[in-house]
């Protein structure tokens, strides 16, 4: 595993954003998701469609919450002033030595955070 997917990448895929689908296809063997990503993605689906979405999510290793992740997330929340789900994502990435793959440049600008990877942007040529 090299990459931790933020929910926005999977949401883009489910919304037929070609760049997201291409990223998933090209990197599928190196991707993991966190329980936060799983919950955020599945929350956007009606129950019948959530089963289909879960089948895709099940193809990736799902990283579970640990005390170590929770403690680092609390520290990052205080230090970076991130919302708790974002701090938890960052903690997962850092503890597991993964790059956090997102297009959320507002909360995770890659310039100061070397663990962040923005593989595409919407509306940019």
- pLDDT, residue 121, reads 92
For residue 41, what is the DSSP state? H
Average pLDDT, the chain: 95
- Is residue 125 a part of any domain in this protein? no
Task: For residue range 33-72, list pLDDT tens digits in order.
Answer: 999 999 999 999 999 899 999 999 999 999 999 999 999 9
- Is residue 76 a part of any domain in this protein? yes
Q: How many Å apart are CA 14 and CA 73, to the nearest integer?
A: 28
Q: What is the CATH number of the domain that holds 27?
A: 3.40.50.1010
- Is residue 122 a part of any domain in this protein? no
Q: CA nearest 37: which of 17, 65, 77, 15?
A: 65
Identify the domain containing residue 96 by its residue range: 3-117
Q: Does residue 124 surpass a pLDDT of 70?
A: no
- Say how many domains are in the chain: 1
Residue with tokens 């909360």: 107
């Amino acid at each position: 595993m090299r990459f931790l997917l933020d929910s926005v990448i999977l949401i883009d895929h489910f919304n037929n954003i070609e760049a997201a689908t291409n990223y998933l296809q090209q990197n599928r063997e190196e991707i993991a998701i966190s329980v936060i990503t799983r919950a955020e993605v599945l929350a956007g689906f009606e129950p019948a469609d959530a089963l289909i979405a879960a089948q895709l999510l099940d193809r990736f290793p799902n990283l579970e919450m640990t005390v170590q992740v929770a403690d680092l997330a609390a520290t990052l929340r205080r230090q970076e002033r991130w919302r708790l789900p974002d701090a938890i994502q960052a903690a997962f990435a850092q503890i597991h030595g993964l790059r956090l793959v997102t297009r959320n440049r507002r909360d995770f600008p890659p310039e100061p955070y070397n663990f962040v990877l923005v593989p595409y942007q919407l509306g940019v040529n």
